[in-house]
Structure 1
Amino acid sequence: MISEFKIPLHRFDLNLLPADARQIGSESFKMAVSMHFAAEYAASGQNAIVTVDDKEIGVMTYPRDADALDMIMPMLKAGKLAEALPYLEALTKDEPGNAAVLYNLGLCYSELSQLDEAIIRLKRAVKIDPDYLHAWVGIGVAYHRLHKPEQAFEAYREASRINPNDPYTLRNLGGLLIAMKRPAEGVPYLRKALALLPDDPQAIYGLALGLSDLDTDAADREADGLFKRVIKEHPTSPIAEIAEKARTRLAHKQLAEGSVGGLRLDVVAYLTDALKTFAKVGPAKTRTIGVEVALLGRNGLEINDPAKKYKLKNLPGDFSGLHLLAIMYAAFQQIDPSADLGADFAAEYAVALKAYKKR
């Protein structure tokens, strides 16, 4: 049975300690406190992990035949990282050669964004066990988050040497190469990761992102399909929203590639028609139309599909995704020009406005 309790330092009886170990905060005090509780619970067939900080003493007791790390793992799994951290630190002092303890301590520091501390512990783990794959991955993640890609790459590569088919190593290594602007190298790793983790949203999104950076029509089409897939299959994941934005960027890139002299002439025509319509219906109806398109656009507009598959309640006709985006852009130039619509039609709008005023 596990038991855990805490004692404020001011309530601990210093007379229980040797006379030369009663200076609160000293290393001898901390060691004496640990030895006191260890001896006390050993008499009843239990082990104790003891932590001492500036305010209190923490004690976790557990059966002598149980593994100490197993007693701490429920805290980690429950996300109680700050609570688990001092126990893991105490355990590393009791078991300095235990790579698993160092690994979990390193992950704990990493999740708490204390990345330098994480790397120190994880490197100790791989020094004890050079083939500790997950510790190498943890080192790579920490270096990546510290914006040290070269060190991250070396750690991931070491993990890949240990197990070339570990999907998380492949996913992280591929993602790092994409971040390093080396998509041609990263995409094969991400393809392999996705084959091993077919339902993993990060693997799907990572491959899509890498493909979109290859700048080929075929890669862009595949990327868009993967972005749509992650949005459809994982709608509640934070990655779905990121994928929506990535699809928008990809669509705008394709729009720019279809421009003439830097202008999309079809967009100019759509904007000109919108300005004429808004002049007829007035400001209130213009706002209503603009908001309706904006709400419709939350689910994504297929702006590179010329098919007229959209309808509006407040404006008759059938519209393509690009046409609706142009209508929304024109409307918000009158409603709120500072609004971020995810589209930059400023040049086209200037031409359309000039043409409209000449009529």
Structure 2
Amino acid sequence: MLVETKYNDLLKAADQYKLKGEHEQAIKICQEILFDDLNCVEAYEEIGDNYMNLRQYDKAIIALNRALKINPESPNALYLIGFAYSAISEWLDSELYLNQANKLEPNHPEILRCLGWTIFHSGRQPQGLIILNRAATLAPNDCFIISDLGMCQLSIRNFEAAEKNFQHILKIEPQNTRAKECLDACRYFKIRQNKTKAKTK
């Protein structure tokens, strides 16, 4: 969410470009803001977010670190840098920043989604699933959260739970290709699992 500043119109314009996928243009607008004010936290956050969309995580982390030097308690910057570290599988750094974001904005579904994903992939699967389930309870129709939960359940062979989650996504977004592929994978592995069980009886 954009904070009201004297650059609010420019930040809104950058956000619109970001939503259209025109990330380079969004970055340029934020750089114009920084030419006028090097301490505009929101501009650094927007730059970081856009670089993440471009999968340029090193540049995103640089921009977000600058935001945090100005405001170490910006929940948005902490969340974004935690997300960036999770994208490059730097789980310890990711958890550090996401925990800070969660303390500042508790029960925020998107922060919990990323925190749960990070903790799950750092090796603490039960704890990660608990946090992802909490995120899903807070935002039951958020397909990104439900998808991450389903992916984690699929990876630990909890096919029944994963199947239900991907079915739920397809009720909300019938054309969601990723959910269709994951649902097919659930059903395939479930059949194989049942065949294996039948052979061992």
Q: Would you say same fold, with TM above 0.5?
A: yes
DSSP 3-state at the match of 1:113: coil
Structure having the larger proportion of residues in strand: 1
Question: By how many angstroms is 1:86 displaced?
Answer: 2.5
Consecutive unaligned residues of structure 2, counting only runs of 5 or more, are 1-5
Structure 2 letter corresponding to 1:237? N
Structure 2 letter corresponding to 1:130? P
Q: How does 1:145-156 map to 2 (within 5 A)?
A: 145-156=87-98
The answer for the alignment partner of 1:128 in structure 2 is: 70
The answer for the alignment partner of 2:193 in structure 1 is: 254
DSSP 3-state at the match of 1:258: helix
Question: By how many angstroms is 1:100 displaced?
Answer: 0.5
Structure 2 letter corresponding to 1:72? A
Quickly say closer, same or farther: Cα 1:70–1:212, change in 2 above 3 A. closer
Quickly say closer, same or farther: Cα 1:249–1:119, change in 2 above 3 A. farther
Whole-Å separation in 1 of the counterparts to 2:197 and 2:8: 67
Quickly say closer, same or farther: Cα 1:75–1:221, change in 2 above 3 A. closer
The answer for the alignment partner of 2:14 in structure 1 is: 72
Residues 1:97 and 2:57 are matched in the alignment: no
Question: By how many angstroms is 1:67 displaced?
Answer: 4.5
**Aligned with 1:137 (options 72, 79, 86):** 79
Higher relative contact order (CA 8 A, sep 6+): 2
Q: How many residues align?
A: 196
Residues 1:197 and 2:139 are matched in the alignment: yes
Question: By how many angstroms is 1:122 displaced?
Answer: 0.7
The answer for the alignment partner of 2:183 in structure 1 is: 244
Whole-Å separation in 2 of the counterparts to 1:97 and 1:89: 12
The runs of 4+ residues in structure 1 deviating greater than 4 Å are 64-67, 212-215
Q: How does 1:35-46 map to 2 (within 5 A)?
A: none
Structure having the larger proportion of residues in helix: 2
Q: Bigger radius of gyration, 1 or 2?
A: 1
Quickly say closer, same or farther: Cα 1:241–1:119, change in 2 above 3 A. same
**Identical-pair percentage:** 24
DSSP 3-state at the match of 1:222: helix
The answer for the alignment partner of 1:233 in structure 2 is: 172
Whole-Å separation in 2 of the counterparts to 1:65 and 1:189: 36
Quickly say closer, same or farther: Cα 1:225–1:80, change in 2 above 3 A. closer
Q: How does 1:100-119 map to 2 (within 5 A)?
A: 100-119=42-61
TM-score, normalised to structure 1's length?
Answer: 0.49
**Contact 2:13/2:26 (8 A) holds in 1:** no
Quickly say closer, same or farther: Cα 1:160–1:66, change in 2 above 3 A. closer
Quickly say closer, same or farther: Cα 1:223–1:244, change in 2 above 3 A. closer
The answer for the alignment partner of 2:23 in structure 1 is: 81
- Over the aligned positions, Cα root-mean-square deviation in angstroms equals 2.6
DSSP 3-state at the match of 1:157: helix
Quickly say closer, same or farther: Cα 1:71–1:97, change in 2 above 3 A. same
Deviations 1:113-145 (A, max 9, x none): 221111011111122122211211211221122
DSSP 3-state at the match of 2:174: coil
